[in-house]
Amino acid sequence: MTTFILVIHALIALALCGVILLQRSEGGGLGIGGGNAGGMMTARGAADLLTRSTTILAALFIGTSILLAVLAATGKRTHVIDTTLAKTTTTTTGAPGRPASVGGIQVVPNVAPAPAPATKAPPVDSVPLAK
């Protein structure tokens, strides 16, 4: 829906630019819309038509701008995060001789983790010096 309205909005903008450029301004401008168009319409009638067209296209342009703004604002609704795949922390007791598991991970009760192996820094005398 937003894409359709955006395309219509762009077409209205192009038409509005064209109609504005067709109008004769006091300073001369492009002046394409002036003169007699084969006897179909007088210069004053063409000016009235272009003015009316500009007004209608400007109103449509503003209307589609507001509609697009409303659609953009309502399109950013907050979504609920789906937590159905989150791990559950159920504790199951293991059978005798087997450790218990928490969330599918085997746990050995009352056993402290093994300390990390200590690494000794080499003595200062054993480090070769740069020459």
Question: What ranges make up the beta strands (E) of the chain?
Answer: 91-92, 100-102, 105-107
**Four-point Cα dihedral 70, 76, 80, 82, nearest 10:** 130
Name residues whose C-beta falls within 8 Å of residue 9's C-beta, 6 or more positions apart in sequence. 61, 64, 65, 68
User: Which has the closest alpha carbon to 65: 125, 5, 107?
Assistant: 5
Q: Which two tokens stand for residue 104?
A: 């599918």
Looking at residue 76, the DSSP 8-state letter turns out to be: -
Q: What's the whole-number average pLDDT of the chain?
A: 74
pLDDT at 23: 83
| Backbone torsions φ then ψ of 60, nearest 5 degrees | -65, -40
Name residues whose C-beta falls within 8 Å of residue 4's C-beta, 6 or more positions apart in sequence. none
Stretch among 34-38, 48-52, 58-62 having the lowest mean pLDDT = 34-38
Please give the single-letter amino acid code of residue 103: G
pLDDT of 37 higher than 50: no
pLDDT of 107 higher than 90: no
Name residues whose C-beta falls within 8 Å of residue 15's C-beta, 6 or more positions apart in sequence. 57
% of the chain beyond a pLDDT of 70: 47
Q: Residue 87 — very low, low, confident or very high, per pLDDT cuts 50/70/90?
A: low
Q: What is the pTM of this model?
A: 0.47
- Rounded to whole angstroms, the maximal C-alpha distance in the chain is 108
Q: Residue 18 — very low, low, confident or very high, per pLDDT cuts 50/70/90?
A: very high
pLDDT at 55: 93
Query: How much is the average pLDDT of 36-64?
Result: 79
pLDDT of 4 higher than 80: yes
